[in-house]
Copies of this chain bind each other. A is one copy, B any other.
């Protein structure tokens, strides 16, 4: 078995020379104190972003940030203007996931509040986005005047971002400006969460007379705890008859894919992923067994995972959706659970052990558990799709068709709702080429994220799945994609409403219905790209193949699907949840499961 993955797959995060804690250290060497002498605060920020490998930034200009915007336009950083701030935020988030760090620049309050939802999502799903914003000048604030865009007081915006960022800085003092910028950027890279930098407009061009350097304290593990925990984990693994790794999203965020594969390949431990970490290893890898999602996932995967006697969960978020809305049955006494935030073996905890140190130590222990039979790699992609003429197309058939054409150059982006459930059935053939907001589940993520991914990696062919409800929120961002000349394939699953809900929520609700659009005509309004409207299998096959061939233009395929059509994954979830109502009604669990039916399918 050719298990060696490390050299075979190009890691798309290689664009950025920052990986986890190593990155933090490496950085400081790029610009010497000499290099930054004489720079203004705005110039310093740009220099530092470049040090971190940032090449592109998203945003909307606005008066309080105009002079900074001017500096960006003159810099090496490519500024991508979007139609709306929230779209710019989603694009920056997706860019950060692919590239390692993203940035969005917006004006004060009207821009900041508009991007807040995207940044909240980046926080929830650990995506390092730098929010850059202007604000009224310090000198303008005397006597607290009613300057436009102000809400309650001058700090209102900063106070909001303190809630949804891992670090914030309001640059109000030149002498500490550089240090503040360094601190905040370091936090973004260390914690893989968004950060906030607000530069009042009269500070942008200020050259500090004195520079305070930031003391860059790299996080360190408690050495003894790191050794003891790795030894314990290795021992448990060594004894295991049916070991398994569940590779979570942090493996990607912290750039630990190679390390993970080293561990797994050395000992032939099978690997599962989660909804949020789908494609953290390429899904054609011989050790990859599929996506684990409790009852929501494929039955054989669920069984294989839950049958394990030692499960190493690495960087996995135990979210409701990752765990198949609480249908996952993972016995804690068989689990080794490690993330950047905690390390738990069975029922005891180790504090202050870094994820990367744990993994490194564990690899050194070379645990050799029993070799477990690994089911054949997922076959979905192999089923040939033969279109049937005039037969109404279904989501399942859409997935089959797409699966047939995925290759190592394709990336898939899925929006919230059945777009993401259906997309879980796709077999992603390259690492980190599946992007979705599978925890925060904000509708409207996918189309702006498509822009972000195209900018981050123009060589990838992006295929995007989005529902009609989500498309109405941010789909007009195809405007920017067209203007910039990218050629993704956007597939709008059109069931004239918030469709997942129709399957899972009993009753006829008018609020499920939305005004139908001729989505396929939008590209012509935007001045580029091609639109297709399809209803049958052959129409879809034809349109999809034309779209694949057209590598110069955006393609938008509007698929009319049945009002109650749903992917296999969604159906499975609906069925299993149906059975669980009984338990709920019988009061067998504290959590009101009836309510949980609604979870996610309507947001």
Contact = CB atoms under 8 A, between A and B. Distances in A.
Interface of A: 61-64, 66-67, 69-70, 73, 79, 81, 83-84, 86, 107, 109-111, 113-114, 116-117, 120-121, 123-124, 137, 139-140, 142, 145-152, 156, 159-160, 163-164, 201-202, 317-322, 439-444, 472-474, 476, 479-480, 482-483, 498, 501, 505, 507, 509-519, 521-522, 524-527, 590-592, 595-596, 598-603
A355 to B, nearest CB: 17
A516 B505 contact: no
Contact of A320 (B110, B146, B480): B146
Contact of A498 (B61, B318, B321, B480): B61
Given A511-B61, A525-B517, A526-B517, A123 B148 contact: no
Contacts of A142: 590-591
Contact of A116 (B73, B84, B140, B160): B160
Interface centre among A145, A160, A518, A519 (most CB of B within 10 A): A160
B140 A123 contact: no
26 contacts: A61-B498, A61-B511, A63-B601, A66-B501, A83-B473, A84-B444, A84-B474, A86-B114, A109-B117, A109-B440, A111-B603, A116-B117, A116-B160, A123-B151, A124-B150, A137-B595, A140-B595, A148-B319, A148-B439, A148-B600, A149-B441, A149-B442, A151-B163, A152-B163, A156-B164, A525-B525
Contacts of A603: 62-64, 107, 110-111, 148-149
Nearest to A114: B117
B595 A202 contact: yes
Contacts of A439: 146, 148
Contacts of A602: 61-63, 66, 107
Contacts of A474: 84
Nearest to A138: B592
Closest 4 A-B residue pairs measured CB to CB? A113-B117, A483-B515, A62-B603, A146-B319
Given A142-B591, A517-B526, 20 more contacts: A61-B509, A62-B602, A63-B602, A69-B509, A109-B440, A110-B117, A110-B443, A113-B117, A120-B151, A124-B150, A124-B151, A139-B591, A148-B599, A149-B442, A201-B595, A472-B479, A515-B526, A515-B527, A516-B527, A521-B524
- Between A61, A318, A513, the greatest number of chain B beta carbons within 10 A of the residue's beta carbon is seen for A61
B147 A319 contact: yes
A482 to B, nearest CB: 7
A599 to B, nearest CB: 6
Instruction: Determine which residue in A86, A116, A148 has the highest number of CB atoms from chain B within 10 A of its CB, and name it.
Output: A148
Given A140-B591, A163-B151, A109 B120 contact: yes
A318 B146 contact: yes
Given A63-B603, A113-B120, A319-B148, A525 B527 contact: no
Nearest to A479: B515
A401 B442 CA distance: 44
Contacts of A160: 116, 160, 163-164
Nearest to A591: B140
Nearest to A472: B83
Contacts of A61: 498, 501, 509, 511-512, 602
Contacts of A440: 109-110, 148-149, 151
B482 A515 contact: yes
Contacts of A600: 63, 148
B66 A472 contact: no
A60 to B, nearest CB: 8
Nearest to A165: B152
Contacts of A482: 515
Contacts of A320: 145-148
A338 to B, nearest CB: 16
Contact of A84 (B124, B472, B498, B592): B472
Contacts of A473: 83-84
Nearest to A142: B590
A597 to B, nearest CB: 9
Contact of A599 (B63, B498, B522): B63
B509 A70 contact: yes
A569 to B, nearest CB: 16
Contacts of A149: 124, 440-442, 603
A72 to B, nearest CB: 9
Contact of A527 (B318, B444, B517, B601): B517
Nearest to A152: B163
Given A320-B146, A527-B515, A123 B110 contact: no
A190 to B, nearest CB: 17
A164 B148 contact: no
Contacts of A592: 137, 139-140, 202
Contact of A123 (B152, B321, B505, B509): B152
Contacts of A317: 146
A598 B150 contact: no
Most buried by B among A145, A510, A515, A591: A515
A201 B509 CA distance: 18
Contacts of A321: 148
Contacts of A598: 63-64, 66-67, 201
B517 A479 contact: yes
